[in-house]
C-alpha cells in the first residue's frame, strides 16, 4: 500500500522516529492489510463497524490487550495522516477507544540481585575475554539506564571516560549526556584498552561478538538470560530490566522524577510515571516513621529501622492505591 509506505517514510524523515519504532508501525499496518484481504474490503471503506471486526479478528488470533491497543494506536495515527493528506474524508478511529490496560509495574532487580548479576561474568582463565566484555557491558547498562538499542550502538567516541560521561543517541536521534560512576569508568577503560583489541574489531561499536562485529540486541538478551540463571535469579528479566532497575534504585535513593526522566531520555513525563510506586513507598515510610500517631505503636514504630541501603516494604493494606499519581 503506497500510502502506508509514504506515512512510514514521513515518520523517519519528518518526525525522526527510531527505525525500530517505524518497523513496528509497519508490522501493525501489514496486519490490517491481511485482515482487509481476508474480508475482501478496500482500505478506503474502513469504518467503525469494520474496525470492530478487525479488533475481534485480532482477539481471535490471540493478540493480547496490550498488542491490540498498540495496533489501534498505530492505525489511528495512520488514518489521521491520511485525513490530512486528503486520502480519507475522516478518521474512522477518531471515536474508537482502545482496550483499557491495567497499570503495569515494571519488573526490577533488588540491589542484591543486581550485585549478583554484575559479578556473574567469569573474568579469569579462558573465559576472561568474553567475561571482561560482559562485565563492562552489564555495568554500563545499569550505570546509565540504557535501552538495549542504545547500548549496542555505543562507539568509543561516545565515551568521555575522563569526564565520566556517555553521549547517548536515543529514540528519534535525540542526544543526551548521562554521567557514569567510577566503577563503570574503570571497567570500560580497562575493556577498551586491554580487551576490545583482542576481538579484532571490524565494526566501530564498543561491544563486539567473537567475530569482531557489533553485538546485536538479541545477542545481549541471550547473554543476560544466561547470567541470570548463573546468578540464581528466577525473575523473567531482559536488558530492559536493567533500565527499570536503574530508575527505581535512583528514586529509592532520593532522586526526583524530573531528573530520572532526563537520564532515561523520556520525551514525556508520563513515560517516567510508571515508577511513582517508588515514591508511594517512600511517602508511606516517611508517614509511618514521623507521624506521631503512626509512631504510637504497631509495626510502623520509629524503633523499627531498616538496615543500611535496604527499603522496608509497606504492608499491602497500608500501601497507596496504584492509581494515585505522585508526580
So which residues are the catalytic ones?
147, 171, 240, 243, 266, 275
Q: Which residues pair with 175 in a beta bridge?
A: 169
Q: What does the block give as the cell for 208? A: 563486539
**Cα–Cα distance for residue pair 275/326, rounded to 1 Å:** 10
C-alpha to C-alpha distance for 112 and 153, rounded to whole angstroms: 29
- Could you tell me if 107 and 237 are in contact, meaning their C-beta atoms sit under 8 angstroms apart? yes
Q: How far apart are CA 157 and CA 310, in angstroms?
A: 37
Q: State how far the alpha carbon of 323 is from the alpha carbons of 65, 141, 237, 261, 320, in Å.
A: 19, 30, 25, 20, 8
Point out which residues pair with 159 in neighbouring strands. Answer: 166
Cell of 256: 526526583
Question: Any idea which residue has 553521549 for its cell?
Answer: 167
Length of the chain: 327
Amino acid at each position: 500500500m503506497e500510502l502506508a509506505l509514504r506515512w512510514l517514510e514521513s515518520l523517519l524523515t519528518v518526525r525522526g522516529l527510531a527505525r525500530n519504532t517505524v518497523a513496528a508501525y509497519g508490522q501493525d499496518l501489514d496486519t490490517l492489510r491481511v485482515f482487509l484481504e481476508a474480508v475482501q474490503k478496500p482500505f478506503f471503506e474502513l469504518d467503525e463497524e469494520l474496525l470492530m471486526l478487525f479488533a475481534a479478528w485480532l482477539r481471535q488470533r490471540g493478540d493480547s490487550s496490550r498488542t491490540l491497543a498498540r495496533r489501534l494506536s498505530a492505525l489511528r495515527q495512520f488514518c489521521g495522516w491520511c485525513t490530512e493528506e486528503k486520502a480519507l474524508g475522516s478518521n474512522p478511529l477518531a471515536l474508537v477507544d482502545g482496550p483499557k490496560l491495567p497499570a503495569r509495574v515494571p519488573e526490577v532487580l533488588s540491589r542484591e540481585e543486581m550485585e549478583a548479576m554484575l559479578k556473574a561474568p567469569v573474568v579469569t582463565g579462558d573465559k576472561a575475554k568474553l567475561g571482561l566484555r560482559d562485565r563492562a557491558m552489564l555495568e554500563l547498562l545499569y550505570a546509565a539506564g540504557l535501552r538495549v538499542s542504545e547500548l549496542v550502538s555505543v562507539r568509543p567516541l561516545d565515551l568521555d571516560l575522563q569526564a565520566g560521561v556517555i553521549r547517548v543517541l536515543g529514540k528519534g536521534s535525540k542526544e543526551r549526556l548521562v554521567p557514569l560512576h567510577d566503577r563503570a569508568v574503570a571497567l570500560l577503560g580497562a575493556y577498551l584498552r586491554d580487551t576490545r583489541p583482542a576481538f579484532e574489531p571490524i565494526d566501530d561499536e564498543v561491544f563486539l561478538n567473537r567475530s569482531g562485529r557489533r553485538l546485536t540486541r538479541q545477542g545481549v538478551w541471550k547473554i543476560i538470560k544466561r547470567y541470570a540463571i548463573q546468578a540464581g535469579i528466577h525473575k523473567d528479566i531482559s536488558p530492559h530490566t536493567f533500565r527499570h532497575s536503574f530508575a527505581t534504585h535512583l528514586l529509592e535513593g532520593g532522586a526526583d522524577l524530573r531528573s530520572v526522566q532526563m537520564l532515561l531520555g523520556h520525551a514525556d513525563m508520563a513515560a517516567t510515571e510508571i515508577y511513582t510506586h517508588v515514591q508511594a513507598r517512600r511517602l508511606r515510610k516517611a508517614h509511618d516513621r514521623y507521624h506521631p500517631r503512626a509512631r504510637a505503636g504497631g509495626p510502623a514504630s520509629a524503633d523499627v529501622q531498616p538496615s543500611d541501603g535496604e527499603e522496608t516494604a509497606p504492608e499491602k493494606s497500608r500501601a497507596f492505591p496504584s492509581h494515585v499519581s505522585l508526580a
